[in-house]
Amino acid sequence: MRRGPRTDPNPWSDPGRRLSTDPPMKRRDFLRVAGGAVAGGALTACSPEADAPRVLPEADRARPLAMAGARHRFTAWTWVHGDRDYGAAEWRRRFARLREAGLDAVLVGGGDIELVSGAARAEGLAFHRWFWTLNRNGDQWAQDNHPEWFTVSRNLESSLEHPPYVGYYRWVCPSRDPVREYLRGLVGELAANPAVDGVHLDYVRHCDVILPRGLWETYDLVQDTELPEFDFCYCGGSSRVHNLM
């Protein structure tokens, strides 16, 4: 298999899935259009309450989403990379632009929680933490201390040493009790932090055994069957390992 570009094997990252031939919308234009739709109540026809107000009172809009009674209207959220070299003033400037565009909350991965949360809340945005669950590529502690936690393919290769598809696909196996306990502790610590309004879990799965058809060429693959190097998990903590005995 020839390694393709370091692109997340996600079906929505495939340009071939676009449903329109129009050129991609610039970020600034998207925020303006999305914000206008939210502020103007363009989605109120789908509202769970027909008589729900289109816009919350200004006093509520100035507070984080967690305290704004958001069940009465649709809300707009966005991902944010928190590991930027910004001070509090720059974060507030950027979050103010999002709030003005009609955004209500940010889903932040990485960075200083207290710094970024404080800036987001100061501009009326709720702060939610984005958490990589079973893909632990950035977890140096787990890699150094518990390499046995990482998933093993049907080729009996660890995803820690032989990550499939892309270099950051290093997964731990949820069949192991210590793994579940460890992750439960990490998520619990985040949830208990008063600076965090919510925790959202990503990569709550094993690695893709078969990629979407539109990505086969990207990785120079033909996956018309389950290939052993992408089939997980066969570690000692999984019952599937007995299929190899």
Q: Which of 30-39, 165-174, 198-207, 232-241 has the lowest mean pLDDT?
A: 30-39
The predicted structure's pLDDT at residue 240: 54
Nearest one of 44, 49, 109, 120 to 75, comparing CA atoms: 44
DSSP letter at 113? H
pLDDT per position as a tens digit, 159-178: 999 999 999 999 999 999 99
d(CA 20, CA 55): 31
Q: What confidence tier does 55 reach under pLDDT thresholds 50, 70, 90?
A: very low
What confidence tens digit (pLDDT) does each residue in 99-129 have?
999 999 999 999 999 999 999 999 999 999 9
Decide: 103 and 78 in contact? Cβ < 8 Å: yes
Q: Which of 83, 127, 87 lies closest to 105 in space, CA to CA?
A: 127
The reported pLDDT for the residue numbered 23 is 55
Q: Is the omega angle on the peptide bond into residue 173 within 30 degrees of 0, that is, cis?
A: no
What are the domain boundaries of the chain?
Answer: 24-132, 133-245
What is the layout of strands, in order, in the sheet containing 126-132?
77-81, 105-109, 126-132, 198-202
Distance CA 147, CA 108 (A): 27
Instruction: Give the whole-angstrom CA distance, residue 180 versus residue 142.
Output: 13
Helix (H, G, I), strand (E, B) or coil at 22: coil
